[in-house]
Amino acid sequence: SVLAGYNGTIFAYGQTGSGKTFTITGGAERYSDRGIIPRTLSYIFEELQKDSSKIYTTHISYLEIYNECGYDLLDPRHEASSLEDLPKVTILEDPDQNIHLKNLSRHQATTEEEALNLLFLGDTNRMIAETPMNQASTRSHCIFTIHLSSKEPGSATVRHAKLHLVDLAGSERVAKTGVGGQLLTEAKYINLSLHYLEQVIIALSEKHRSHIPYRNSMMTSVLRDSLGGNCMTTMIATLSLEKRNIDESISTCRFAQRVALIKNEAVLNEEIDPRLMIARLQKEVQELRDELALVTGEPRTEALTEAELL
């Protein structure tokens, strides 16, 4: 669908240690353990090579939301700077209520290898810590986005689509994990943002609900289209097999049931390439000037007046 010009989102939801990151990004040891992101990149670039009827452009962005602050995981300053010194990604909203992210870079990827290198770079910069529930617990929400543009040669119509691949940090019961200090602070932010996500899902699943609280958190603001707008969205619920986590597993299943009730209406994202349109209009103006010169017998070189343009 993304190749055809529709927006898409796949996100994994579940408690900490239940396999969300493994599902989305995969394991590093075996090729067969690849996650959804590398498999998606492989599929997309394979399809692009097959289709010679269109011109495709692919860009990658990688956003991390840590303690309710956004960071660009592809910022080259990550290695040499502390997190506090990096510019924060901020949300801007235009008059049409479209979301724009300031300080989030987009990197062109012309091959699968280039896209995978961007994924690996971003994963290296992620916030990860060891907790009693997970030896490599991701302490942030991460959104890997593939931006795809396509057009037919000579056509002024451009299709834009984006695919969000989302790895949510896992919910934690602080009493069970027994964490403290920085890990406790992180857990509170994670649980609060997941609570706001649940509130948005509940509001969307209720008919005739006029207000949807997207602005309560950065994550729900960024994913507004994915949750209840112009997007085809899939949720993957990850569950723990341990009996002691039965309550969290039931909670995840209930959340998934609510998500299944939401009906999104995705539309084709097409627009006119402004550069081609300007060139066409300039050509038409010149042709009209030539016709006018034939009628009047005088070549016209001065610009058209405002009245003539109207």
**Residues 299 and 203 occupy one common structural domain:** no
* Average of per-residue pLDDT across 254-271: 88
How far CA 279 is from CA of 119, 254, 301, in Å, comes to: 38, 55, 18
Residue 136 pLDDT class (50, 70, 90 cuts): very low
In a domain, 41, yes or no: yes
**Residues 60 and 197 occupy one common structural domain:** yes
**Residues 183 and 207 occupy one common structural domain:** yes
For residue 218, pLDDT beyond 90: yes
- Residue 299: per-residue pLDDT: 63
In a domain, 228, yes or no: yes
**Residues 257 and 280 occupy one common structural domain:** no
- Residue 79: per-residue pLDDT: 73
**Residues 163 and 124 occupy one common structural domain:** yes
Q: Give the sign of the dihedral formed by CA 35, CA 38, CA 41, CA 47.
A: negative
For residue 43, pLDDT beyond 70: yes
For residue 147, pLDDT beyond 90: yes
Q: Which of 111-115, 151-155, 158-162 has the lowest mean pLDDT?
A: 151-155
Query: Which residues are documented as binding site for ATP?
Result: 14-21
Domain count for the chain: 2
In a domain, 43, yes or no: yes
- Look at residues 196, 261, 254, 251 and name the one whose alpha carbon lies nearest to residue 228: 261
Query: Which residues are documented as binding site?
Result: 14-21
In a domain, 184, yes or no: yes
**Residues 145 and 85 occupy one common structural domain:** yes
**277-281: long-range contacts at Cβ-Cβ below 8 A with a sequence spacing of 24 or more?**
277/156, 280/156
> Distance (Å, rounded) from C-alpha 247 to C-alpha 16?
13
- Residue 82: per-residue pLDDT: 76
Q: What's the CATH code of the domain at 154?
A: 3.40.850.10
- Residue 128: per-residue pLDDT: 59
Q: Write out the residue range of the structural domain in which residue 277 sits.
A: 273-309
- Look at residues 190, 195, 203, 217 and name the one whose alpha carbon lies nearest to residue 261: 203
Residue 167 pLDDT class (50, 70, 90 cuts): very high
- Mean pLDDT score of the chain, rounded to an integer? 85
> Distance (Å, rounded) from C-alpha 166 to C-alpha 20?
9
Amino acid at 58: T
Quote the pTM value.
0.83
Direct distance between the N- and C-terminal alpha carbons of the chain, in angstroms, rounded to an integer:
40
**Residues 299 and 164 occupy one common structural domain:** no
> Distance (Å, rounded) from C-alpha 258 to C-alpha 226?
15
- Residue 130: per-residue pLDDT: 45
Half-sphere exposure of 236 (CA within 13 A, CB side): 19
**Residues 73 and 55 occupy one common structural domain:** yes
In a domain, 13, yes or no: yes
**Residues 304 and 183 occupy one common structural domain:** no
